[in-house]
């Protein structure tokens, strides 16, 4: 069972996440990577103050 974990800064809507998850699942199924019922897409939203970049410090 493949898990696709996406870590991102919070702020995306549920609709945006659902659309992206569907596209990922569709692609994985189309390429025979896995059956769609076995695929899990997990979003991990992080607050902006929990993310740092070398360009920002």
Distance between CA 12 and CA 10 in Å, rounded?
Answer: 6
- List the beta strands (DSSP E) in the chain: 3-9, 40-46
Which position among 2, 33, 38, 42 bears the catalytic label? Answer: 2
Type and span of the H or E element at 42: strand 40-46
48 is catalytic: no
Query: Mind telling me the catalytic residues?
Result: 2
């Amino acid at each position: 069972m493949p898990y696709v974990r996406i870590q991102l800064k919070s702020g995306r809507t549920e609709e945006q996440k659902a659309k992206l998850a569907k596209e990922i699942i569709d692609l994985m199924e189309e390429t025979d990577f896995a059956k769609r019922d076995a695929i899990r897409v997990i979003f991990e939203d992080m607050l902006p103050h929990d993310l740092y970049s070398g360009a920002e410090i």
